[in-house]
């Protein structure tokens, strides 16, 4: 009985971790899209007209400044997205 309880708890934790990782990735992709949009808007370029889906999926990892800037803004309590 104890092993069944431990197994059930472990499976629930694994399922929640997968959901949390997925949501964090989608949140990071959204931040990357906004970051790229504002970065290119300064030059008068609408990034949504020229970028493909792959560009947005790798946006958080293509530029290291995206997660770092978001972390710094949250640390200074400038961003209240969550």
Q: What is the pTM of this model?
A: 0.57
Question: Taking the CB of residue 60, how many other CB atoms lie within 10 A of it?
Answer: 21
Q: What is the model's pLDDT at position 81?
A: 47
Sign for the CA dihedral angle at 55, 60, 64, 67 comes to: positive
The answer for 8, left when phi > 0, alpha when psi is -120 to 50, beta otherwise, is: alpha
What b/e sequence results for 38-52 when a residue is b if at least 16 CB atoms lie within 10 Å of its CB, and e otherwise?
A: eeeeeeeeebeeebe
Per-residue pLDDT of the chain (82 residues), as tens digits, is 577 888 888 888 788 888 878 888 888 888 888 888 888 888 898 888 888 888 878 877 776 666 666 666 666 665 554 4
């Amino acid at each position: 009985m104890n092993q069944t309880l431990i197994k059930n708890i472990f499976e629930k934790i694994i399922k929640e971790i997968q959901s949390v990782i997925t949501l964090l990735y989608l949140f990071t992709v959204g931040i990357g899209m906004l970051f790229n949009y504002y970065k290119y808007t300064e030059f008068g370029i609408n990034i949504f007209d020229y970028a493909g889906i792959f560009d947005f999926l790798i946006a958080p990892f293509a530029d290291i400044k995206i997660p770092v800037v978001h972390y710094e803004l949250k640390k200074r309590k400038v961003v209240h997205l969550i």
